[in-house]
Amino acid sequence: MTHFILWVINFFLIVFYLNFIYTVYCQFRKAPEGSPKKNEARKQVLEVMSHRMHIDDSVKLVGKLLFGIEKAPEVLNAVRPAGSAVVDDWECLKTMVSFFSEANMIE
């Protein structure tokens, strides 16, 4: 269950940040070269990337604390076998989606 909850939280964070990064990247790409808008968008992209790296490192640290230094990479990088169910506990998923919806993290 803990593994699933970490996966769901990480999934929503990834979606949130990818959406934001894509928006800022589009602003960067559309802005004229050398313009203040382009420089500001470049700065935002670098800040978001830095923040994302911090989150990734934090998730790895939590994984090490929960599963141990040696087992954490295996657990955090685990991939379900092809053909297996996407979710084992649908009620848990519904609860997590409801929580993130109420927190305005997803629409």
pLDDT tens for residues 24-64? 888 888 989 989 988 988 888 888 888 878 988 998 999 89
By C-alpha distance, which of 8, 46, 6 is closest to 25? Answer: 46
Determine the Cα–Cα distance for residues 55 and 15; give it in Å rounded to an integer.
13
The residue segments making up the domain with residue 35 are 1-66
Q: Is 24 contained in some domain?
A: yes
Q: Is 99 contained in some domain?
A: no
* HSE value, Cβ hemisphere, 13 Å, CA-based, for 56: 10
Q: Is 96 contained in some domain?
A: no
Q: Is 56 contained in some domain?
A: yes
Percent of the chain with pLDDT over 90: 15
User: Which whole number is the average pLDDT over 73-88?
Assistant: 83
pLDDT (0 to 100) of residue 25: 82
Neighbours of 76 (CB within 10 A): 19
Q: Is 28 contained in some domain?
A: yes
Q: Does residue 1 register a pLDDT over 60?
A: no
Determine the Cα–Cα distance for residues 93 and 89; give it in Å rounded to an integer.
7
What's the maximum distance between 2 C-alpha atoms anywhere in the chain?
A: 51
| pTM of the predicted model as reported, rounded to 2 decimal places | 0.56
Which residue, chain included where needed, has tokens 């790895």?
Answer: 60
Q: Is 78 contained in some domain?
A: no
